[in-house]
Each structure stands twice: as C-alpha cells, then as structure tokens.
A and B are shown apart, each in its own frame.
Chain A
Amino acid sequence: MASTEIIHAHAAPQGFIRKYIFSLDHKVIGLQYYFLALIAVFVGMGLSLLMRIHLIWPNANLPIFGAIKPETYLMFLTMHGTIMVFFVLTTAPQGGFGNYFLPIQIGAPDMAFPTLNMLSFWTTFVAFVVLVAAFFVGAPLHGWTGYAPLSAVPSAGPGEGLGADLWITSIAIFCAASLMGALNFITTVLDMRAKGMTMMRMPLTCWAWFITAILGLLAFGVLLAAGILLLMDRNLGTSFFVPGGLNFTGQTSFPTGGFSSSTDLIKHNGGSPLLWQHLFWFFGHPEVYIAILPGMGVASQLLSTFSRKPIFGYRAMVYAMLGIGILGFVVWGHHMFMSGMSPYTAFAFSIMTMAIGVPSAIKTFNWLGTLYQGRVRFHTPMLFAIGFVSLFVSGGLSGPFLAQPVLDIPLHDTYFVVGHFHLIMGVAAIFGIFAATYYWFPKMFGRMMSEGLGRWHFFLTLLGTYAIFMPMHYLGLAGQTRRYSEFTQVAYQTKLIPLQTFITYAAIVTISAQFIFLFNLFWSMAKGKKATDNPWEATTLEWTTATPPPHDNFGGRTPVVSHGPYEYSVPGAARDFVMQNDPATTPAH
C-alpha cells in the first residue's frame, strides 16, 4: 500500500480540456458520470410521460410528436427501460458517486487506474450516443429485455432493422465500459486503502461499491457475449437464438437483414430463444442489485449519520450485502417461470429467490435498529434515506409473491411486476441517488442545497411515486398485461382505464416535482449557502478534507485511520461524533 501514492500522484493538469474533458481526476470523472446520468434520466422520464399520456389518450395529437402509433409507444418503452437501467441506475450511483467518493472515503489520492477510469467514462458516453442515434433511425420495439426472435429478426417489426443493431451495439459498448470500471473499483478497494483503513472499517458505501463492482465484473461479461451473438444472428446468418421454421407471414414489408429471404429464415436451425433469456437474465438479475446496492450503502451511511448512532450490526450489513451479491447470481430463472423452461428448475430458482429475501430483511431490520433510540435529524438527505427504506420495504415485499412459480402464473408480465420492480430498483434506487446528491453536494460544490426546496421535492416525490406504482399492483391482480400500447382492445382491461388515468395524473405531478430538484441543484451551485468542511458532523474521511477536495484529495497528507466509520454518540467523547482519523484515544472499533 505504501508505494501506491508514488505511482498514482499524477500532477494536477492545467489546460481546460485535460482538466474538465479528458480528465484523469476521479472527482471530475465522477461528476461527468453524474451529469451524463442527469441528462439520461430526464430523457427517460420524458419518455415515460409520453407513454403515460398515450396509454390514456391513444389518439391525442401531441405537439412535436403528433399522434403516437402503437409501435412508437413500444419504441419509447424500449428506450425508457434501456436508458434508465444502464445510463441512470448503473451510471449515477456507481460511476458517479462511487468514482467521486470511494477513493476519498478509503483515504486514497485517486482510483488505481486513472487512465482506465477516463476511458471507461468516455466509452460509456459513446454507448449513450449510439443509443440516442437509434431514435433517429427508428428505435427497436422489443423492450429493454430484447427477447429473441423479436430482437433477432429484422422483419419482426418496425425498428428491428438498423435501430435494433444500434441498440444492441450500444449495450455491448456499455458492457465494455462497465467492465473497465469494475476492474478499477475492485483494485482500488483492495490496494489503495489508507493506513488503518481495514476492510471492516470501510464505510458501508465503500462495501456497496466494492460488491457492486464484483457483480458488474461477473455480469456484464455475459451480457457482452450475448450481445455479440445477437449481432451475429442479426447480420451474419448465425443461429444462436433463431430456431428453425420461423415465418413472418404478416410482416413482409420490413428489411430481412442477415436473412436473405423469408425462405432463408425458415431453413435456419438450431437456435434457442430461451438461450437469450438465460444469458440476458444471468446478467439482468445481478443488474438489479448493481442498481440498488449503492443505494443501500448510502441509506446505511445516512441513517447512522443523521440518527447520531452507530449503524446497527455493521458486520451483519456487510455479510447481508455479500449474501445478496452471491445469491443474486443464482436466481435469474425466476424471470422465466412461464418461459417453457423445465418446470423442475423452477423449484430451485424459487427457493434461491426466497432465500435472497433473508439478507434483504436483515438490512431492513438493521436500518430500523439504527433509528431506534437515536436522535434523528431531518435534513433533506435523511428524508430521502428514510424514503429509501420505506420504498425498499414496499418494493421488496411484493418479491415473495413473484418468487413463487404458482403465483407467478397469474402475475407474470402484468402491471404487478411493473409496480414491483419500479418501486424497488427504480424509485428506491433513485431515492438513493437523491439522498447521495443532497448529502454530498456540499463536498462536491462547496455550497449547501436549499433545505426548503429539498423538503418540497421529497414530500411530493414520495407521495407521487407511491401514487404511481402502488395502484399498478392492483392492476396486475386484475390481469392488466404490461407492454400494451392501449387498453381498448381487451374488454376486461378497458374497465381498468380509470385507475390507469389516475396513475397518469400522478405521473404528471411527480415528474413536474423533479424540476424543483433540477432548479435546486443548479441554483445552489451558484447561490447556495457556503458549506463548511463537515456540515453534517459526519465521521468518514471525505469530511476531513477541504471543500471541494484538492486534486490529490487530502492536500499532500495521507490520512491514518483509527476508528470504524460510524462512531456517533460515543460515551465519554468530547463531541457526539468521532472522526475516522481522530487519534485512537476513544474506544477503537
């Protein structure tokens, strides 16, 4: 560890381009990831607004967009899912906050491989540009899961030609970028920790980023391989996912791509549509935890800080995250109970999925235990951390329904599933991002965000997201199938339109409330109250350095750590918090 400072202390760059564009500084790269995600989230949210409007008023003539056709709805749906999962939920918590704060929290001057770090951001950026390009040639309509053969055969529908090629290319590039990032995070945690920063003294945020990186390393490689196979099926005439005997008799007007004619398509043989699903979900389920684990880390950090109490069961929290990480790789089949996969394997996947509820429950219990007998301060970041716990409970508890194959029969591919995963991996993870933004904003920009606006943002968003996603569970019970562009064709579903209308109104209000956040973010950068170095009276290393931190993070000194990360209200201590680098006079943990 001692030699690392010499290797990584690169000089502060001078020119604008080296300082802000092709920067090697993990803090700048973290902000680049964050602002990329910010752009992406507003695009993704805009798409969801258009979808919600189309669902209720399918014939409405919108400004700019005109009347939305069914295939356009499905293109919005595909792009919404892809943008949100990859460029928001994977990019902001890990690439953004992880990049910025992991090195500082473990007392390192930078990431282990600064150039690789820069490369991984710019590769992510290219992936985003390629995805956005799909909009201009007609985006695919196969959903973010891209099930073959719909995604494998260009004649399967509009957007399945060049648009689908760009879509899968973008994902493949994103995978490569994420693999670089994952390697960097893992090496940094293992090799760059300051003196005294043992693994079991790391803040839970660092544990979360570390475990997320391991998941990313193991999961993105598989998706990358699947993506390349899909590209080959589409363009080179291979048959990994395309079975024999396909005939698209109703849809002859679309390009045939790698298949020279429809007879050629019929003669293909040996491919399996289920193979794509296995490969996709082998990535896709760990991806859920890639999105939510950093949020868990942030919630733990904030609940402890603002309750002025050590985190309840630090070790249990670490083991629970490790447990979630490991089990996360053996549950993918629960997405496939209805797929035609052997019904015997459903048992195994089901038991594993139920088992993953156990570490999740441990986490919830420990968060409640942290609040219990604490002294809770209601700053905006804390509000979002509390909201995270509430959403995690609500989104988590619909899991054990879907994990049972027999209950999955009526619920699979209905709005029950949409409500479930949006609450947990969508909104809860986004609450983690909001909490992190309000919490670390003072360190990143040297100013405080407005507390008043923050509260408005919190209350409107919590109430609004519940109003959107809780009713979706009821719709699912009533058999409302997902990915329908309108509900006018199936009689029993037309009866559910009033509830869908309510959801659309709730979405309009909630989306509007996000502009409070956007305003607060940029207004506070310029006009916010000046922040002190440690405005929250927190204990971890980022609060021991200047605001914003200097290029090498600690201004030439190297922190020495003598305490655990959450030493609040230690009996006999002078203040109600003990910094991690305070000399070891108070009881060491």
Chain B
Amino acid sequence: MGLALLALIWLITFVSTYFFVAKTWWFPVGASASAAWIDHQFAVTFILMGIVFVAAQGALGLFVWQYRDRGATQPVHYSHGNAKLEIIWTVLTAVLFIGLNLMGSRVWATERFDPPEVGAVPVEATGLQFAWYFRYPGPDGKYGRTKAELEDASAGGESAVGLDPSDAASKDDIVSGTMYIPVNREVDLALRAQDVIHSLFIPSMRFKQDAVPGLIIHMHFKPIQTGDYEIACAELCGLGHYKMHGMLKVVSQEEFDKWLASKEAEKQ
C-alpha cells in the first residue's frame, strides 16, 4: 500500500509538472509592451512554486512509503515538534511569498497608477448584452454625449451606445464593432458598461479589466506587434456570455489613419 501511494503521488506530481514545463497549453504569444514583464513574473513564480510543489509531494510520497508500518518493532520517534525548524520554515516562506509579491508590483504600478503616455490613442469600449462597441472621438478629440434612454442594442453602432446626435461633439464620433489601433502607440482606453458587468479580456495583450455600469474606468496598454487578436468577455453577463467576443486589429499608423478617415467619410 505504501508503494502504491508513493507511485501514485509521484506520478501525479510528474505528469502535472510535465505539461507545465512542456508548455503544451500556454499563454498566447504576448503582443503588448507589458506582456514580457508579466510572463517573466509568471515564470519566476512558477519556478519557485514548482520547486515547493515537487519537494512537498515528493516528501509526502517518500515518507508514507519509508515509514510504513512494518510491525511493532519499528521504532517511532516520539516528538512534539521542533520550534527552531518551525521558525526557520515560517521566515523562509514569509520572505519567499512577500518577496515575490514586491517583485511583481512594479508592472502593476506602471500600468495602473501612471497616466497614459502623451499622444495615446483615445478609445472608449462599451460592453452590453452581448457585444462590445468601440468609440473614437474623431478630429475634435472629444467624446460626444451618450444617454441611456437612447440606447438600442438591436440597431447596433451609434444607437447601441446611445450616442446623442444633438451634441456637437458627437458629430464626428466613430463607433465600430471591431477595435482598430495603431501599433507601438499607447491606447488610452475608457471602459463603460450599459447593463451588467462585463470584462474586456484580450489574452495576447495580457489585458483584462471589468467594465462596470455606473463607472468609467481608464486603462492603458501598448500593442507592439500588428495582427488580429481575439477579445472575449471574462465576467459572467447573462445567457449570451459565451458568445460575447470581438476582434482587435493592430495595424500600422497609416492603415489606422486610412481606416479612421474612411469611417469619417462614411458618416458624412
């Protein structure tokens, strides 16, 4: 029985660790400025936790086999513990866990505390049951007024986000179901939700943020590679949660300008 337990625990440990190390299923390739940082912090955490995992499971399997009951003659070490060992163990874990935490905090700080870079592209993302819409303020750089009373999801586009045409600033606002942004420029993102909480999740950008009704949440990130990236909703928002997805297209500055101009032209 001891040997069977040892084999099972070690097997589980080996197989579990193998698929992490082999990266059979892994993060998508990072395409934003902070992705490398986040992935690095993950790797450091993984190595440290991996060592603890293998050591603890290894010892568990080993001990139950090594100290299995082999009859009354087998000596048992009568002990109530060892205070010195307890203190060493406690301090080591505290240093390890708190240290890890402090290491990762820099990325969080630059992403969330600092304002976006000067010249960042303003985009507003709105979540509603069950779609994402992206708004660009147009040449005037100002988002027009929106009103809850004017929202109409079935009409799509500007009507879906409730854009008020009577406001002068809304005349040049562009609303799109696909998110276009230029590469290597920061995005100054404002997140809104109209009905329930949604969460804008772009795995390749290592980006996730809830969109909360009643709040406008500002975030920023910088794509560093052109391409098409999928957007998913990460917060349960109702029966259509699973199909609330969108597309992020990271393009060159010229393509972005051209796309924006064509949308403005369409509107006139």
Instruction: Enumerate chain A interface residues (CB-CB to B < 8 A).
Output: 69-71, 74, 141-143, 147, 149-150, 153, 156-158, 243-251, 263, 266, 271-274, 307-316, 338-340, 343-344, 346-347, 350-351, 354-355, 357-358, 361-362, 364-366, 368-369, 371-378, 383, 386, 389-390, 393-394, 397-398, 400-401, 403-407, 409-410, 412-414, 455, 459, 462-463, 466, 470-471, 473-475, 477-479, 481, 483-487, 489-493, 496, 499, 568-571, 576, 589
Contacts of B267 in A (CB 8 A): none
Q: Are B210 and A313 in contact (CB under 8 A)?
A: no
Q: Are B76 and A338 in contact (CB under 8 A)?
A: no
Instruction: Known A409-B208, A479-B27; judge A357-B93 contact (CB<8 A).
Output: yes
Q: Are B232 and A361 in contact (CB under 8 A)?
A: no
Instruction: Known A247-B195, A273-B213, A478-B27; judge A74-B239 contact (CB<8 A).
Output: yes
CB distance from B78 to the nearest CB of A (A): 5
Does B162 belong to the interface (CB within 8 Å)? yes
Q: Are A358 and B45 in contact (CB under 8 A)?
A: no
Q: Are B236 and A466 in contact (CB under 8 A)?
A: no
Q: Are B81 and A403 in contact (CB under 8 A)?
A: no
Contacts of A338 in B (CB 8 A): 199, 208-210, 234
Does B253 belong to the interface (CB within 8 Å)? no
Contacts of B25 in A (CB 8 A): 471, 474-475, 477-478, 496, 499
Q: Are B104 and A406 in contact (CB under 8 A)?
A: yes
- Chain B, range 230-258, C-beta contacts under 8 Å to A: 230, 232-243, 245
Contacts of A307 in B (CB 8 A): 67, 76
Instruction: Known A70-B239, A243-B214, A478-B28; judge A343-B112 contact (CB<8 A).
Output: yes
Which of B2, B64, B148, B235 has a CB less than 8 Å from the CB of A247? B148
- Chain B, range 188-205, C-beta contacts under 8 Å to A: 191, 194-197, 199, 201, 203
- Give the size of the chain B interface in residues (CB under 8 angstroms): 106
Contacts of A390 in B (CB 8 A): 9, 12, 57, 60
- Chain B, range 1-27, C-beta contacts under 8 Å to A: 1-2, 4-5, 8-9, 12, 15-16, 19-20, 24-27
Q: Are B97 and A358 in contact (CB under 8 A)?
A: yes
Interface centre among B4, B81, B113 (most CB of A within 10 A): B81
- Chain B, range 74-123, C-beta contacts under 8 Å to A: 74-83, 85-86, 89-90, 93-94, 97-98, 100-101, 104-105, 107-108, 111-113
CB distance from B233 to the nearest CB of A (A): 7
Instruction: Known A344-B113, A361-B93; judge A393-B56 contact (CB<8 A).
Output: yes
Q: Are B242 and A397 in contact (CB under 8 A)?
A: no
Q: Are B52 and A147 in contact (CB under 8 A)?
A: no
Q: Are B238 and A474 in contact (CB under 8 A)?
A: no
Binds A, one of B137-145, B151-159, B170-178, B179-187: B151-159
A357: nearest residue on chain B (CB-CB)? Answer: B97
CB distance from A368 to the nearest CB of B (A): 5
Q: Contacts A249-B151, A393-B56 given; 4 further ones with Cβ under 8 A?
A: A308-B69, A403-B101, A405-B104, A490-B232
Distance in angstroms between the alpha carbons of A173 and B195 in the assembled complex: 29
Contacts of B128 in A (CB 8 A): 249-250
Can you name 14 A-B residue pairings with CB atoms under 8 Å?
Answer: A149-B196, A156-B129, A245-B214, A246-B213, A272-B214, A310-B78, A354-B100, A355-B97, A368-B59, A369-B81, A371-B60, A371-B63, A404-B41, A406-B41
Which of A244, A470, A490, A589 has a CB less than 8 Å from the CB of B230? A490
CB distance from B152 to the nearest CB of A (A): 5
Instruction: Known A150-B196, A375-B67; judge A245-B148 contact (CB<8 A).
Output: yes
Contacts of B215 in A (CB 8 A): 243, 274, 340
Q: Are A362 and B86 in contact (CB under 8 A)?
A: yes
Q: Are B45 and A375 in contact (CB under 8 A)?
A: no
Instruction: Known A338-B208, A400-B97, A496-B25; judge A310-B201 contact (CB<8 A).
Output: no
Contacts of A475 in B (CB 8 A): 25
Distance in angstroms between the alpha carbons of A287 and B209 in the assembled complex: 26
Does B261 belong to the interface (CB within 8 Å)? no
Q: Are A378 and B2 in contact (CB under 8 A)?
A: yes
Distance in angstroms between the alpha carbons of A343 and B45 in the assembled complex: 21
Q: Are A316 and B69 in contact (CB under 8 A)?
A: no
CB distance from A296 to the nearest CB of B (A): 15
Which of A364, A478, A481, A484 has a CB less than 8 Å from the CB of B56? A364
Does B259 belong to the interface (CB within 8 Å)? no
Q: Are B203 and A492 in contact (CB under 8 A)?
A: yes
CB distance from B196 to the nearest CB of A (A): 4
Which of A147, A247, A386 has a CB less than 8 Å from the CB of B149? A247
Q: Are A314 and B234 in contact (CB under 8 A)?
A: no
Does B212 belong to the interface (CB within 8 Å)? yes
Interface centre among B4, B5, B72 (most CB of A within 10 A): B5
Q: Are A483 and B214 in contact (CB under 8 A)?
A: no
Q: Are A250 and B86 in contact (CB under 8 A)?
A: no
CB distance from A496 to the nearest CB of B (A): 7
Q: Are B212 and A339 in contact (CB under 8 A)?
A: yes
Which of A157, A459, A471 has a CB less than 8 Å from the CB of B238? A157
Contacts of A412 in B (CB 8 A): 208, 234
Instruction: Known A358-B93, A362-B89, A477-B26; judge A393-B57 contact (CB<8 A).
Output: yes
Distance in angstroms between the alpha carbons of A141 and B129 in the assembled complex: 14
Q: Are A406 and B108 in contact (CB under 8 A)?
A: yes
Distance in angstroms between the alpha carbons of A158 and B240 in the assembled complex: 11
Q: Are A340 and B209 in contact (CB under 8 A)?
A: yes
Interface centre among B41, B129, B217 (most CB of A within 10 A): B129
Which of B4, B19, B53, B129 has a CB less than 8 Å from the CB of A397? B53
Q: Are B113 and A310 in contact (CB under 8 A)?
A: no
Contacts of A466 in B (CB 8 A): 12, 16
B214: nearest residue on chain A (CB-CB)? Answer: A243
Instruction: Known A373-B67, A378-B2; judge A489-B243 contact (CB<8 A).
Output: yes
Distance in angstroms between the alpha carbons of A481 and B210 in the assembled complex: 14
Instruction: Known A70-B242, A251-B129, A394-B16; judge A271-B148 contact (CB<8 A).
Output: no
Distance in angstroms between the alpha carbons of A347 and B98 in the assembled complex: 11
Distance in angstroms between the alpha carbons of A378 and B230 in the assembled complex: 51
Q: Are A400 and B49 in contact (CB under 8 A)?
A: yes
Instruction: Known A150-B196, A312-B81, A338-B210; judge A393-B108 contact (CB<8 A).
Output: no
Distance in angstroms between the alpha carbons of A313 and B86 in the assembled complex: 8
Q: Are B60 and A375 in contact (CB under 8 A)?
A: no
Q: Are B76 and A479 in contact (CB under 8 A)?
A: no
Distance in angstroms between the alpha carbons of A466 and B8 in the assembled complex: 11
Contacts of B42 in A (CB 8 A): 401, 407, 410
Q: Are B212 and A274 in contact (CB under 8 A)?
A: yes
Q: Are B203 and A410 in contact (CB under 8 A)?
A: yes
Q: Are A156 and B195 in contact (CB under 8 A)?
A: yes
Q: Are B207 and A409 in contact (CB under 8 A)?
A: yes
Distance in angstroms between the alpha carbons of A338 and B241 in the assembled complex: 17
Q: Are A316 and B86 in contact (CB under 8 A)?
A: yes
Interface centre among A389, A406, A478, A492 (most CB of B within 10 A): A406
CB distance from B143 to the nearest CB of A (A): 15
